[in-house]
Homo-oligomer: A and B are copies of this chain.
Amino acid sequence: MSHNTFGRVFRFTTWGESHGPALGVVIDGCPPGLPLTEADIQPFLDARKPGQSRYTTQRREADRVRIMSGVFEDDGGRQVTTGTPIHLMIENTDQRSKDYSQIARSYRPGHADYTYDAKYGIRDYRGGGRSSARETAARVAAGAVARLVIPEVSITAYVCELGGDAIDREAIAYEEIGKNPFFCPDISAATRWGEKVEAARKDGSSLGAVVECSAQGVPAGWGAPVYAKLDGELAAAMMSINATKGVEIGDGFAAARLTGEKNADAMSPGDDGKPVFASNHAGGTAGGISTGQPVVCRVAFKPTSSILTPVDSITSSGEATQVMTKGRHDPCVGIRGTPVVEAMMALVLADHKLLHRAQTG
C-alpha cells in the first residue's frame, strides 16, 4: 500500500515526483496561532538545496516554497497558522529535458527501478520519479513548521563519518557545521572529506556517510510505550529517508558491547529537582520516553547507487545489460541528508509533544 503520510496527531502527507511540475506537503494538526511565513521555511530548504557546492549534484533548483493554505493574519497583522491544513508547494524548475530511454528500459541496481515495477507494474522513471530524494524537500519544509511547535527544543545534525572516515569527537566545534559543505563539526575532517568526495566524483564512484542528530531541550516525558516509543518513532522516521540503512539511538550498536555497569547512566539530584545524569549512553530515552537529556540518534546513509562505473543488471524485459548513471548526481547523499535528518527529528518531536499533552493535559 502506498503510504505517504507520517505522524499521529501532527501529521504530514507528501506528494510529487522528481520531474513532475511540483512537489508538496500537507501538514495537518498544526497548533493555531504560530507565526509562519515562507521566510521561516526557506532557510531550511536552502540548506538542503542541490548545487550548493561542488560536492553535491549540479541540478539547479530554486526550491522556493509557497504557502498555499492554513495561515491568516491575526489581530496584530502577523501571518499565523490557523489550525487548518498547511499546504506547502515547491515547483520543479530544472527537470532537464533529456533522453530517458535507457533508464526507462533498464533497472539501476540499488535503485527502486526494479521494485517499483515489481510492485506497481509501472514507474515514472524520469529522475527516479517518486523514489527520488527530491521528495525530501517536502519533509524539510514540513520540518520547518514542526520546529515552531517545539520552540523549547534545539536540533542539530551533522555528518560524523564519511566514507569510513570519522570525526574526532575531541575536536567537535559545533559552530563549524554551517561553515563547510559537509555539515561537519570537525574542521580537519572536513578538509579530508573534501578530497575524498572530489576523488570519488572524479572516479564516478560514491561514498556513504553517517549523520548524527541531537535534540536539546526535550523535557522528560515525551514518547510512549509500547509501539510509539521515541526510539521506534525516530527509527521509522529516519529509515524512511532515501538511502538510509541503519539507525541508532544513543550508543546504539556500541551499547551491545558494553557491560551493564558501563552502560548505566547514573543519576544524581539536580538543583531543580530533576535528575542530573552522569552520562547519556541511552541517547535521551528510557522505556521509549524522553529522560530530559539530549535525544541523540545516528543514521547510516549508503553510497548512492548512481555511479559512472558500469554494473551488471537486467532490462525490464529480463535481458542482461550493464547500467551506469550518467548525469548529475550527489557523490555522497548523506551530506544533503543532514537537513533531512534534522527535519525528521523535529517532526517526530512535535508529534510527541502534542500526543503527550493529549494524554496528560
The stretch of A55-63, A168-176, A252-260 in contact with B is A252-260
Bitwise, A259-293 to B at CB < 8 A (1) or not (0) is 11111111111000101001001110111111110
Are A2 and B14 touching (Cβ within 8 A)? no
Q: Tell me if A17 is interfacial: C-beta within 8 Å of chain B.
A: yes
Are B264 and A311 touching (Cβ within 8 A)? yes
B-side contacts of A360, CB under 8 Å: 31-32, 83, 119-121
B-side contacts of A319, CB under 8 Å: 269
Could you name 7 residue pairs across A and B whose Cβ atoms are closer than 8 Å?
A2-B28, A14-B226, A84-B124, A110-B286, A232-B235, A235-B247, A245-B250
- The B-contacting residues of A in range 333-361, CB under 8 angstroms, are 334, 354-361
Are B161 and A256 touching (Cβ within 8 A)? yes
Number of interface residues of A (CB under 8 A): 152
Given contacts A29-B2, A68-B22, is CB(A300)–CB(B248) below 8 Å?
yes
Q: In the complex the two chains form, what is the Cα distance from A234 to B232 in whole Å?
A: 9
Given contacts A220-B119, A248-B245, A303-B263, is CB(A208)–CB(B255) below 8 Å?
yes
Bitwise, A5-16 to B at CB < 8 A (1) or not (0) is 110110101111
Q: How far is the CB of A336 from chain B (nearest CB, A)?
A: 15
A8, A113, A115 interface centre (most CB from chain B within 10 Å): A115
Are A120 and B161 touching (Cβ within 8 A)? no
As for how many copies of this chain the complex holds, the number is 4
Are B266 and A311 touching (Cβ within 8 A)? yes
- The B-contacting residues of A in range 314-336, CB under 8 angstroms, are 314, 318-320, 334
Indicate which residue in B163, B206, B227 contacts A5 across the interface (CB closer than 8 Å). B227
Q: Tell me if A215 is interfacial: C-beta within 8 Å of chain B.
A: no
Given pairs A31-B360, A84-B225, A112-B289, 12 additional interface contacts (CB within 8 A): A4-B28, A4-B84, A4-B227, A15-B69, A26-B26, A107-B267, A115-B288, A119-B224, A130-B226, A131-B225, A262-B303, A264-B305
Q: Tell me if A167 is interfacial: C-beta within 8 Å of chain B.
A: no
Give 6 nearest A-B pairs by CB, closest first: A112-B287, A208-B256, A206-B260, A3-B228, A358-B358, A246-B252
Q: How far is the CB of A105 from chain B (nearest CB, A)?
A: 11
Q: Which residue of chain B is the closest to A203 with respect to CB atoms?
A: B259
Q: How far is the CB of A324 from chain B (nearest CB, A)?
A: 10
